[in-house]
Amino acid sequence: MLWDVFCRVIDNFGDIGVCWRLSADLAARGHGVRLWVDDASPLAWMAPQGHPGVEVRPWSDAERADLGTRPGDVVIEAFGCDPPDAFLAAMQRPQPPTWVNLEYLSAESYVERSHGLRSPVFSGPATGLNKRFFYPGFTPATGGLLREPDLLARQQRFHATQRLAWLHGVGVPAQPDDALVSVFCYAGAPLAAWLDALADEALAGGPHHPVTRILLTPGHATRLARDWAQQASSARVQALQLHTLPSLSQFDFDHLLWSCDLNIVRGEDSAVRALWTGRPHIWHIYPQEDGVHADKLGAFMARWMDAADWPPDLRRGVQATWLHFNGIEPGDTPPLPEWRGPWVAWARSSEASRTRLTRQTDLVTQLIEFVTGSG
């Protein structure tokens, strides 16, 4: 099948990140994909090699009255981005393409009620067509999560044979016993307070404490950490090893997450990739002025932790960590649950939650079944 995927880059990289990963996964399964995007510049570092079967097209081409392009078999509008009128008009044919609105990820209860609903169009160039809503999610009644068929096998091979070499290649001279934390956050993250806490942990451990390395992605994480290093005490600064990373492709961002004991991530695409590591992580959710992100975060914590039966003390500790990092429960930095090593409770419970999620059919498989059976 030929898929047309429409994406608008709003203010961060989550939209284009999800759309590229979706497009690449579809292409890897033998489909043709045209990705229509209003700003393709992030793909220069996110997907520098492109992907066979994915053609990146400028959004402006789809706005032309003389479109010159026949819509494919499936039209995906990501996150309600509204394809151009000229393209919608070209969808008016005896057998129109299947039209799907791929929605944002949420663990809230409305997702199950809304997944798969049909929305007839009564005005404009798409009059008479039907749009279907497809909701990613965490239960069998939703569309699942993006997960390539070989993802977990690639992670296992990487950790067994490539981890240290990859770290050295991006300028991190890690040793097998080092403790590693990755940071990818928004501007409002309380990173200084958390670096203080991590430094105090390292200092309390004495000279035999494992080296703690903080791996900083470009942008807010690097800026916030540099500000902290200029203001913190010399003892705290010396207790941590800060490493600024180059811009990473999606492929290498997975390697970063797989390499670390604790991952701080932001946005939808990175949060899902952190889930698939089965490692401790903190999700810095996109803040919204009306505060609805607090409900979204609470719903996710319940799905991720309660369903896999996390120990009560661990659940409370991780929830306190997430709520503080997101500014929902400000105040003193809560004690961070033990995160170093694969055998601590946080790591074991994260692995259990991941195992449970892998029993769910992945999003692309479900999406293909959805469009071929939607009529």
Give the strand pairing for 54-58 and 179-183: unpaired
**Beta-carbon contacts of residue 142 (< 8 Å; ≥ 6 apart):** 111, 112, 115, 135, 136
Q: How does 17-28 read in b/e, with b if 16+ C-beta sit within 10 Å? A: bbbbbbbbbbbb
Q: How does 227-251 read in b/e, with b if 16+ C-beta sit within 10 Å? A: ebeeebeeebbebbbbbbbeebebe
Q: Give the other-Cβ count within 10 Å of 175's Cβ.
A: 10
> How is 151-162 classified by DSSP, letter by letter?
HHHHHHHHHHHT
Catalytic residues: 15, 268
Q: Count of alpha carbons within 13 Å of 120, Cβ hemisphere only?
A: 2
Q: Give the other-Cβ count within 10 Å of 300's Cβ.
A: 20
| DSSP H helices in 260-339 | 267-277, 292-301, 312-325
